[in-house]
Amino acid sequence: MKKEYVYRAFERFWHWTQAALIIFLGVTGFEIHGSIRFFGFDQAVRYHNFAAISFLVLIVFAIFWHFTTGEWRQYVPTWENLRAQAEYYVFGIFRNVPHPTRKTSLSKLNPLQKLVYAGLKVLVIPIMVVSGLLYMFYRYPQRYEVLSLNVGGLEIIAVLHTIGAFLLASFFIAHLYLVTTGRTVTSNLKAMVTGYEELEAGPVEKKAQPVLHEPVLSE
């Protein structure tokens, strides 16, 4: 094993801030939906809107960072070893089967993680952002009148936003489980705090040894 600097400072900041905002948006959102009661409806709406704007700002910075550093390539899906990775999480991990893929600082995600994270970034998060913005600005006051985005109704928007919320909640639960599937139960968690993780070292190349010839004795 060798210790490598895998997660950079902004990457860790983005991860933990995003997690906190999603949890807070979930709590306030489900209270607005009427599923729970914690802050009170009016306060929940204000907190939810503020957290949503903060989340949008974070997304902008994250997109800029991913493209300027080239880290967006980490999320490009691949079909190679996808089935083996799924079988590992379902069966192999309980039988101490070796991990089918090797994690490095240049390839942080396994094939299944790439597929899930790509789906979140190009499908679930955009649906939540667009439906949330339509919710916020469906009708908004101006100086002399109330303007509308001319949306036929909020029912479809509400359904899409709620489906997205449940998908994020499901991902969060699965993510908590996958955090414990590292080399140790807490190794993945520590790596996202410190940035350093112990990774499996590659095969050690043996140095070529000089061939020693025994002297030939003349007869």
Complete domains list, the chain, with CATH: 10-99+109-141+148-182 (1.20.950.20)
How does pLDDT run across 180-211, given as a tens digit for each residue?
888 888 889 999 999 998 887 655 434 434 44
Quick: pLDDT tens for 1-33.
788 899 999 999 999 999 999 999 999 999 988
Please give the mean pLDDT across all residues of the chain.
Answer: 84
Closest CA to 191 of 54, 1, 62: 1
d(CA 182, CA 189): 9
Of 147 and 219, more confident = 147
> What are the backbone angles phi and psi of residue 186, rounded to the nearest 5°?
-110, 0
Residue of 137 and 219 predicted with greater confidence: 137
pLDDT the model gives residue 143: 59
Q: What is the DSSP letter of 207?
A: P
- Taking the C-alpha atoms of residue 98 and residue 60, their distance in angstroms, rounded to an integer, is 38
Task: Give per-residue pLDDT as tens, 30-80.
Answer: 998 888 888 999 999 999 999 999 999 999 999 999 999 999 999 998 888
CB neighbours of 27 closer than 8 A, spacing ≥ 6?
Answer: 36, 38
> What gap in Å lies between CA 59 and CA 56, rounded to an integer?
5
